[in-house]
Amino acid sequence: MNAHATVAPTVESAGAATPRGRRDIVRVVLLVTLVLCLVGLPLVADPFATTTATRVLAFALLAVSLDLLVGVTGLPSLGHAAYFGVGAYTAGWLSIHIGIDGPVALLAATLAGASVAAATGWLAVRSGGIFFLMLTLAIGEVLHQVAHSWRSVTGGSDGMYGVPATTVGGVDLANPGFLYWYVLGAFGVGYLLIRMVVRSSFGAALRGIHDNEPRMRALGYPVFGYKLAAFVIAGAGAGLAGGLLVAQQRIVTPDDLGFTTGALVLLAVVIGGAGTLWGACIGAAVVVLVRDYFGPALDGHGPLLLGIVFVIVVYVMPRGVAGVAGIRGKERAA
């Protein structure tokens, strides 16, 4: 048994040396192709498709920020849409009443998402598991109710409408293609920042908390502070995503921060495979496409189709799209 144990790793590393180099090249080529496709999309797609893609990007950033909580830290939240909505209302309100520039509105939305997450997170992250799920659900419902009742600011159930077109340096982004590139750029910044956090030593500590919280305490990590920090960073990402949402749809309704949105993001993360950020993006694309693109053709039965997709995903690929890709990758390496 011992001999087997010592021999196995050396064989593996010697065999993997060349394929690993080739896999890196494949990865770079794939990445460049993906970026080119994303950037070139408005040049070939019709305006409706471009608009849908813009919504996918906003929703994908929301899913990525939630994945930091669910997949990395192990905190499944049902109320993450609350911070998305806070960001959307903040950016919308500032655009209507003060008429600030797009990027400044996005920054404000990010800060608003982070602040509200900090104010509510110190309560939520004290619990774990099902209690965390219920607490975040409750927090989300409270904020949903606030959005309904605080008519003077949010417009109540009519929503906050009449948000002017996003301007960057005084130039209107009324053209769906320009708006798409603007949202794509902001999405890229948000995605890369969250990816940086996940890959840092702080991200490793969050995975440690996911794996074994008591041991992290025994190693001297202040677990509560780390979970709160993760919650605030996720809230900031959700706030930015909300700012992107309002830039596209130019109206915010209480539904945008309600339970349905919160559940759909969680669904996106699970479909994509919790713990991999790009998986969350694919999950978000599936959810938005089924709901907004195929849904209308199905006579309003989009949610039904989503339900079927979800059941299939849970049975066929329990670790999501990313899980399937991961298995393929390992098979190729072996």
Partner 1 sequence: MTAVLSCRNLSRRFGAVHAVDDVDLDVEPGARHALIGPNGAGKSTLLHLLSGVLSPSSGAVALEGRDISRLSVSRRSRLGLSQTFQHSLLFLSMTARENVALAVARRHGVRPWPRRRVHSAVADRAGQALGTVGLADRSEVPAGSLAHGERRQLDIAVTLACEPRLLLLDEPAAGMSPAEVERLGALIELIPPEVTVLFVEHDLELVFRLATTVTVLHLGAELITGTPDEVRASDAVQEAYLGTEGQHTDLFLRPEPAVDPASR
Interaction mask 189-228, partner 1, x per CB under 8 A:
-------xx-xxxxxxx-xx--xx-xxxxxxxxxx-----
Of 233-292, binders to partner 1 (CB under 8 A) are 233
Residue 80 C-beta: closest distance to partner 1, Å: 19
Residue 262 C-beta: closest distance to partner 1, Å: 25
Check binding of 334 to partner 1 (CB under 8 A): no
- Toward partner 1, which CB reaches closer, 118 or 223? 223
Check binding of 293 to partner 1 (CB under 8 A): no
- Cα separation, 326 vs 310, in Å, equals 20
- Toward partner 1, which CB reaches closer, 181 or 226? 226
Check binding of 9 to partner 1 (CB under 8 A): yes
φ, ψ (nearest 5 deg) of residue 63: -65, -40
Residue 301 C-beta: closest distance to partner 1, Å: 39
Buried b (16+ CB within 10 A) or exposed e, 254-279: bebbbbebbebbbbbbbbbbbbbbbb
Check binding of 41 to partner 1 (CB under 8 A): no
Check binding of 69 to partner 1 (CB under 8 A): no
Residue 131 C-beta: closest distance to partner 1, Å: 20
Q: Count the residues of the shown chain that bind partner 1, applying the rule CB under 8 A.
A: 28
Q: Which residues bind partner 1 (CB under 8 A)?
A: 5-6, 9, 196-197, 199-205, 207-208, 211-212, 214-223, 229, 233
